[in-house]
């Protein structure tokens, strides 16, 4: 049994390594192709579609005015933007600060509406209520802490206009604006850059597969209404909507030049709560969509389900088991120094261990390579400090994913057994 476990772990690790190599090849192709494509800003946007920009905000007085200003100053025809901020069940000064901003003379003629909401459903409920008022051909979502770059919406719409019949949604890049705050925020920044510059670009380049994030994306108004809006029971409403888009034969396109800055957790407790919610939500989405593997669904949906299932179930279990095997053997080796008669329950041939160590070493090398490939493609991010940090995060920050995933799996299991309702956790903001 022990031999079978170790061999299964090794095979799984090698499959994960192969997956990483394939995605990196796609990412390199994307970056090289993009570097040869000149950036063109249109002189005239008369033919650009109307857009409803929605910002859901629950007790966001710390950041909401800055976000609203960024939206109001986007490089996009003002007459083509309907701007809705949802002050969702706020008990602070979010709505008052927005009203003061709206009253300023320069925004007098802007289509700027502040919805003070007292309904249920969290962020999804706020988006659904705002959607009922949407008049734009597209809906754009920014989180309350977003700082979209001036051309972000322009680049999102430009991408949508390339193939308007195929692209049901378009998403951009999100960057950590507080990345230098402390060790945790620096690690989150490396994760974000790697996801955005390697995983997202590689998946889009090779398979034309994308997943909308929670912010900095646009979706056809008619499409999201056909879907029925955002799932108010989902903890990761963005991932759930992504699968709904794919099942309707639409693609989720990547506009990597559409950038928005967002605030990341600066405290470990805040980070753990946020990521556990994400993990639980993604587990549930996988379970809800696993049936596509056994139905005549499109190959993109099947591949998307497999990718999520591999990342959140298969590879996770593999790493946990292999970690337990190695830790158990180390413990028994230490005990054997004092009590030679005690032997480890996991006895393997030397060659098997060699192959395991090689697999682990290659996985670590590719982990560091992925991060630094992403950093090299992002201006100002490739430096000695980030290189050293990338080497350390595998043994520190990356291991938090195991703890978060195990906790999320346990809590999801208990939710199913006890029939308790999921609670949406709002990420704490910092000044």
Residue 424 predicted with pLDDT over 60: no
Q: Please give the C-alpha separations between residue 68 and each of 71, 146, 157, 263, 264, in angstroms, as whole numbers.
A: 5, 9, 19, 15, 18
316 pLDDT higher than 90:
no
Task: Identify whether 270 is part of a domain.
Answer: no
- Does 30 map to a domain? no
| Mean pLDDT value across the chain | 88
Residue 66 included in any domain: yes
pLDDT, tens digit, 9 for 90 and up, residues 31-87: 999 888 888 888 889 999 999 999 999 999 999 999 999 999 999 999 999 999 999
pLDDT of residue 121: 81
CB 219 within 8 A of CB 138: yes
Q: What is the pLDDT of residue 229?
A: 95
Instruction: Say whether pLDDT at 423 is over 70.
Output: no
The total domain count for the chain is 1
Domain that holds residue 151: 48-192+210-264
C-alpha dihedral sign at 11, 309, 281, 220: positive
> In the structure encoding, which two tokens stand for residue 258, read together?
């559409």
pLDDT (average), residues 321-331: 73
The answer to whether 57 and 64 are in contact (CB under 8 A) is: yes
Q: How far is CA 307 from CA 76, 282, 322, 377, in A?
A: 36, 12, 21, 24
Q: In the structure, what pLDDT confidence band is assigned to residue 339 with cuts at 50, 70 and 90?
A: confident
Residue at 138 is within a domain: yes
Q: How far is CA 135 from CA 140, 168, 220, 426, in A?
A: 12, 17, 11, 28
> What CATH number is attached to the domain comprising 217?
3.90.550.10
The answer to whether residue 336 sits within a structural domain is no
Among 199-203, 247-251, 290-294, 358-362, the minimum mean pLDDT is found in 358-362
Average pLDDT over residues 290-301: 89
């Amino acid at each position: 049994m022990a031999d079978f476990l170790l061999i299964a772990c090794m095979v799984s690790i090698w499959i994960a390594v192969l997956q990483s190599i394939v995605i990196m090849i796609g990412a390199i192709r994307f970056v090289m192709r993009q570097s040869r494509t000149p950036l063109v800003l249109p002189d005239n946007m008369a033919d650009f579609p109307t857009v409803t920009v929605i910002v859901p905000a629950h007790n966001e007085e710390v950041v909401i005015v800055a976000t609203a200003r960024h939206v109001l100053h986007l490089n996009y025809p003002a007459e083509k933007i309907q701007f809705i901020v949802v002050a969702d069940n706020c008990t602070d000064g979010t709505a008052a600060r927005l009203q003061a901003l709206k009253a300023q003379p320069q925004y007098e003629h802007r289509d700027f509406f502040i919805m003070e909401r007292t309904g249920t459903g969290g962020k999804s409920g706020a988006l659904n209520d705002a959607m009922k008022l949407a008049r734009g051909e597209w809906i754009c979502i920014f989180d309350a802490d977003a700082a979209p770059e001036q051309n972000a919406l322009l680049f999102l719409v430009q991408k949508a206009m390339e193939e308007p019949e195929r692209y049901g949604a378009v998403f951009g890049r999100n960057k950590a604006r507080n990345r230098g705050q402390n060790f945790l925020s620096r690690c989150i920044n490396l994760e974000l850059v790697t996801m955005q510059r390697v995983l997202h670009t590689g998946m889009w380049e090779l398979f034309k597969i994308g997943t909308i994030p929670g912010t900095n994306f646009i979706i056809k108004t008619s499409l999201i209404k056909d879907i029925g809006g955002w799932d108010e029971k989902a903890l990761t409403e963005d991932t759930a909507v992504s699968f709904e888009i794919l099942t309707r034969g639409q693609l989720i396109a990547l506009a990597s030049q559409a950038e928005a800055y967002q605030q990341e957790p600066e405290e470990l407790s805040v980070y753990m709560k946020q990521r556990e919610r994400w993990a639980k939500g993604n587990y549930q989405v996988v379970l809800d969509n696993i049936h596509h593997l056994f139905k005549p669904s499109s190959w993109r949906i099947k591949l998307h389900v497999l990718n999520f299932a591999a990342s959140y179930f298969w590879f996770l279990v593999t790493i946990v088991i292999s970690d337990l095997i190695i830790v158990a053997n180390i413990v028994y080796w230490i005990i054997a120094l004092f009590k030679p008669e005690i032997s480890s329950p996991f006895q393997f041939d030397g060659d098997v261990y060699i192959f395991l160590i090689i697999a682990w070493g290659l996985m670590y090398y590719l982990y560091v390579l992925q991060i630094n490939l992403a950093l090299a493609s992002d201006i100002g991010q490739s430096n000695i400090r980030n290189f050293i940090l990338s080497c350390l995060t595998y043994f520190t920050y990356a291991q938090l994913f195991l703890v978060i995933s195990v906790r999320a799996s346990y809590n999801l299991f208990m939710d199913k057994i006890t029939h308790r309702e999921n609670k949406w956790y709002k990420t704490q903001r910092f000044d």
